[in-house]
């Protein structure tokens, strides 16, 4: 109910909406309206109250509370169920717990801070409070497990598109899971899978997006390699609004992918990528080598040509663009 009141106040932001009107439209008592308004104020919303005029939303805090995330959400599935935590070990770990307990597809787990944020290959992801968007999404795709890796590219395309729309800047995709601008990493994606031989139980897509950081907010070893939206644009972004935009782009692309197949995702990924045609350093469980990134296979694997001319298909591994500083 608090989410619905916030949505109505947002529609009329800057104008008053009477308590009687809120009571009538939501079929609750005026006392209940007052209690929800008080709760919104406690969350940091600036709401003016007048005995004769009603309530007026004056301003919103940059918080990731559930009412703020759901206010204005346009999706049918993604984000319809949201679990918010001021602090978590890892949103992916919490999402796994919820998925194993039967949480539906589209459930979002978001945290203000992660104490043990996870990156690929066991690396950590620095997730301080108030500076970024740290969330995980539960998917239950009707796919064979062999296709699960494609969802990392689906995720990257969705985030890349959303950030381009939100900022107007040409964010690019590095295979398999990074979103870059000017060679610096602004977002990472970690996909984890629970499956049986011929069935995916669930997929957890963890997304970490740097939003408000200044250069000094990153550890010294990352300052030449990491970027935030604030650093890139000089602008302030409301994180809940960014989350809504990402979920909207992701839901549209995800269901189009399930209906139309992977080729349409590959086409968009190629348009947004900064990997193909570049010299890369590749590290897999079998060792490391350098080569030229040629193309993606039909399944989303990276094809790399070694100096010897041999072409290697990379299904999983760490790929670094030799022209930049990234190694995570």
Distances (CA, A) of 214 to 187, 217, 223, 246: 15, 5, 9, 22
Alpha carbons 250 and 25: distance in angstroms, whole number: 32
* Range of weakest confidence among 36-45, 68-77, 128-137: 36-45
Q: Give the three-class secondary structure for 260.
A: helix
State the pLDDT confidence band at 124, using cuts at 50, 70 and 90.
low
Half-sphere exposure of 88 (CA within 13 A, CB side): 21
State the pLDDT confidence band at 59, using cuts at 50, 70 and 90.
confident
The answer to whether 113 and 87 are in contact (CB under 8 A) is: yes
Distances (CA, A) of 148 to 118, 208, 266: 19, 20, 14
Q: With 50 as the cut, is the pLDDT of residue 325 above it?
A: no
Tens-place pLDDT, residues 15-51:
999 999 999 999 999 999 999 999 999 888 899 999 9
**For residue 2, which of 101, 103, 84 has the smallest C-alpha distance?**
84
What confidence score (pLDDT) does residue 323 get? 61
- Domain 66-272 superfamily per CATH: Bira Bifunctional Protein; Domain 2 (3.30.930.10)
CA angle 80, 83, 84 (to 5 degrees): 125
Same fold, 2-59 and 279-321: no
CA angle 59, 62, 64 (to 5 degrees): 120
Parallel, antiparallel or unpaired: strands 172-174 and 132-139: unpaired
What confidence score (pLDDT) does residue 11 get? 85
Give me the residue spans of the domains in the chain: 2-59, 66-272, 279-321
* Across 220-224, average pLDDT: 87
Q: Helix and strand tally (H, E) in the chain?
A: 9, 14
Tens-place pLDDT, residues 146-187:
999 899 999 999 999 999 999 999 999 999 889 999 999 999
Topology at the third CATH level for domain 279-321? SH3 type barrels. (2.30.30)
Alpha carbons 296 and 258: distance in angstroms, whole number: 19
What confidence score (pLDDT) does residue 109 get? 98
The secondary structure element, H or E, covering residue 252 is: helix 239-260
* Across 224-235, average pLDDT: 94
Sheet containing strand 82-85, edge to edge, reads 82-85, 108-111, 132-139, 200-210, 184-195, 178-181, 172-174
What confidence score (pLDDT) does residue 28 get? 94
**For residue 160, which of 177, 136, 182, 141 has the smallest C-alpha distance?**
177
Tokens of 150: 């494609």
Alpha carbons 16 and 56: distance in angstroms, whole number: 4
What confidence score (pLDDT) does residue 17 get? 92
Distances (CA, A) of 98 to 101, 195, 202, 254: 5, 16, 11, 21
Residues 6+ apart with CB under 8 A from 86: 111, 112, 113, 129
What confidence score (pLDDT) does residue 129 get? 86
* Across 118-146, average pLDDT: 82
Dump the DSSP string for 268-310: HHHHHBS-TTSEEEEEETTEEEEEEEEEE-TTSPEEEEETTS-
Alpha carbons 155 and 139: distance in angstroms, whole number: 11
State the pLDDT confidence band at 285, using cuts at 50, 70 and 90.
confident
- Tell me which of 328 and 218 has the higher pLDDT: 218
Alpha carbons 16 and 8: distance in angstroms, whole number: 11
Q: With 80 as the cut, is the pLDDT of residue 118 above it?
A: no
- Tell me which of 117 and 188 has the higher pLDDT: 188
State the pLDDT confidence band at 65, using cuts at 50, 70 and 90.
confident
Tokens of 73: 């959400």
**Class for the domain spanning 2-59:** mainly alpha
Q: With 50 as the cut, is the pLDDT of residue 262 above it?
A: yes
The answer to whether 54 and 37 are in contact (CB under 8 A) is: no
State the pLDDT confidence band at 328, using cuts at 50, 70 and 90.
very low
């Amino acid at each position: 109910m608090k989410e619905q009141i916030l949505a109505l106040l947002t529609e009329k932001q800057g104008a008053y909406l009477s308590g009687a009107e809120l009571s009538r439209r939501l079929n609750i008592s005026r006392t209940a309206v007052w209690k929800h308004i008080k709760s919104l104020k406690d969350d940091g919303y600036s709401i003016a109250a007048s005995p004769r005029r009603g309530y007026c939303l004056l301003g919103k805090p940059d918080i990731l509370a559930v009412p703020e995330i759901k206010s204005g959400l346009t999706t049918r599935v993604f984000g319809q169920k949201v679990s918010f935590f001021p602090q978590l070990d890892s949103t992916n770990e919490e999402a796994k717990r919820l998925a194993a307990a039967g949480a539906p597809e589209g459930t979002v787990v978001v945290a203000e801070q992660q104490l043990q944020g996870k990156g690929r290959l066991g690396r950590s992801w620095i997730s301080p409070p108030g500076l970024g968007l740290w969330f995980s999404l539960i998917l239950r795709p009707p796919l064979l497990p062999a296709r699960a890796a494609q969802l990392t590219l689906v995720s990257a395309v969705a985030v890349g598109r959303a950030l381009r729309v939100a900022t107007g800047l040409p964010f690019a995709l590095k295979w398999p899971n990074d979103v870059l601008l000017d060679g610096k990493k602004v977002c990472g994606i970690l996909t984890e899978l629970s499956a049986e031989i011929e069935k995916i139980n669930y997929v957890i897509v963890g997304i970490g997006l740097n939003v408000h950081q200044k250069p000094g907010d990153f550890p010294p070893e990352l300052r030449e390699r990491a970027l935030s939206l604030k650093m890139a644009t000089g602008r302030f972004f409301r994180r809940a609004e960014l989350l809504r935009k990402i979920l909207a782009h992701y839901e549209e692309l995800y269901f189009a992918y399930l209906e139309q197949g992977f080729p349409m995702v590959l086409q968009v990924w190629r348009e947004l990528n900064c990997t193909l045609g570049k010299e890369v350093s590749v590290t897999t469980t079998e060792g490391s080598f350098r080569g030229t990134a040629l193309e993606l296979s039909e399944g989303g694997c990276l094809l790399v040509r070694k100096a010897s001319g041999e072409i290697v298909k990379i299904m999983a591994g760490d790929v670094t663009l030799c022209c930049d500083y990234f190694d995570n």
